[in-house]
Amino acid sequence: MSDTLYIFDIDGTLTDSVPMYLMSVTKAMQALNIIDIDTDYNNYKHHTDSYALRYNYERNFDKSVPVDLLDEFEHHLIVAMNEFDPVKEIKGAKNLINHFKDHQIPFCFATGALPKPAFLKLDQCDIWYDERLLATSKTHESREGFVMDAIERAKSFYDTSGFAKIVSLGDGLWDLKTAQNLSLDFIGIGEKNREKLMDNGATQCYPNLEDFLTSLI
C-alpha cells in the first residue's frame, strides 16, 4: 500500500455539479421558508451546507437553528437535486478512483455538502466510494474540520497510524486555503480557477482528472 493519502473534494473536482448544487441549496432553504437568502456563496466564511443553513436561518429569524433542521434541509436538498438532470463526472474521475482502489493507493473524500447529496452525486457518476471514507459538513462547518475528519477516517479504514504524505485535490480557492492551513500538499483540478489557484500558491494544476491520472502512470 502507498504511504501517500489523497483527499478528494467532490463538487467541481470529481463531479460537474457546482451550478446545479448551488441552485439546489437555495431551493432547499426556500422550502424551509428561508426567504432572504444570501446567494453569494463564494464569499461565505465557510463553503459548506451546514454553514449556509445556519447563516441564512439566523439572518432570517434571529435565532439559533433547531437541532433537527439540518436533517430536514438534507431531505429538501435531495428533492431539489432530483429536479435536475443527473450530474456528470469530471473527465477521468471514475477511472482515477478505480485506479487508486485497484492499486491500493489510499484515498478519501472531504466535501462541504451533506452526506446524502454527496452520495447521490457520486452514484450518478458511478464513482466508487465507501461511506466510511467520506467526511462532510454534517459534523463540521469548516473545511479544516471535515478534512481532518477525512484523514482520521482514512487512518481507520486503511488501519494505519498515519501517512508519510497527504495530498488534497480540489478546484476552488477554499480547497487550496484549507490545504495550506493544514500544511497539506495540494493539486488543483480544472481550468476555471487555475489562474487564481496558481496566483495563491498552487504549484500543480491539471485540466481534469484524466490528465492527472496520466501523470501518475
Helices (H), 32-182: 49-61, 69-81, 93-102, 115-124, 143-157, 173-181
How many other C-beta atoms are found inside a 10 Å radius of the C-beta of residue 183?
A: 7
pLDDT score of 2 more than 90: no
The whole-number pLDDT of residue 170 equals 98
pLDDT tens-digit map of 168-187: 999 999 999 999 999 999 99
The whole-number pLDDT of residue 147 equals 98
Distances (CA, A) of 99 to 103, 107, 108, 159, 214: 6, 11, 14, 20, 11
pLDDT score of 141 more than 90: yes
The whole-number pLDDT of residue 55 equals 97
The whole-number pLDDT of residue 1 equals 80
pLDDT score of 198 more than 90: yes
pLDDT score of 73 more than 90: yes
Strands 88-89 and 15-16: antiparallel
- The answer to whether 81 and 44 have CB atoms below 8 angstroms apart is no
Give the residues across from 206 on adjacent strands: 189
State how far the Cα of 125 lies from the Cα of 172, in Å rounded to an integer: 20
Cα pseudo-dihedral 113, 101, 181, 67, rounded to 10: 30
Residues ≥6 apart with Cβ < 8 Å to 127: 14, 15, 89, 93, 94, 97
Percent residues over pLDDT 90 in the chain: 97
Q: How many CA atoms, within 13 angstroms, populate the side-chain half-sphere of residue 128? A: 11
- The answer to whether 18 and 84 have CB atoms below 8 angstroms apart is no
State how far the Cα of 81 lies from the Cα of 23, in Å rounded to an integer: 9
